[in-house]
Structure 1
Amino acid sequence: MTIKLPDVIAIYFAADKSDNAQAISECFTPDAIVIDEGNTYTGRDAIRQWMANASTQYSYSVEPFALSEADGRTVVTSHLVGNFPGSPVDLRYLFLLDGDRIAALEIVP
Structure 2
Amino acid sequence: MNADQPRTITPDDLPEVITRYLTAHNARDAATAVTLLTDDATVLDDGKSYQGAIAIEQWLNRATSEFTYTTRLTNAQEIDTSHYIATHHLEGDFPGGTIDLRFQFTLRDGLIEHLAIEA
Same fold (TM over 0.5): yes
Gaps of 5+ in 2: 1-9
What is the alpha-carbon distance in structure 2 between the residues aligned to residue 63 and residue 51 of structure 1?
18
2:94 counterpart of 1:84: yes
Match of 1:79, as an amino acid? Answer: H
Q: How does 1:70-109 map to 2 (within 5 A)?
A: 70=79, 73-109=83-119
Tell me what 1:40 maps to. Answer: 49
What percent of counterpart residues are identical?
36
My pick for the range that moved more, 72-81 or 34-43, is 72-81
What is the alpha-carbon distance in structure 2 between the residues aligned to residue 88 and residue 99 of structure 1?
34
Which of 42, 53, 61 aligns to 2:70? It is 61
My pick for the range that moved more, 38-47 or 3-12, is 3-12
What is the alpha-carbon distance in structure 2 between the residues aligned to residue 26 and residue 63 of structure 1?
23
Tell me what 1:18 maps to. Answer: 27
Q: After TM superposition, give the deviation of residue 3 of structure 1 in Å.
A: 2.0
Q: TM-score, normalised by structure 1?
A: 0.90
What is the alpha-carbon distance in structure 2 between the residues aligned to residue 95 and residue 76 of structure 1?
8
Alignment coverage as a number of residue pairs? 108
Q: After TM superposition, give the deviation of residue 52 of structure 1 in Å.
A: 0.3
Gaps of 5+ in 1: none
What is the alpha-carbon distance in structure 1 between the residues aligned to residue 118 and residue 44 of structure 2?
9
> RMSD of aligned C-alpha atoms?
1.5
Tell me what 2:3 maps to. Answer: none
What is the alpha-carbon distance in structure 2 between the residues aligned to residue 45 and residue 89 of structure 1?
27
Q: After TM superposition, give the deviation of residue 99 of structure 1 in Å.
A: 2.3
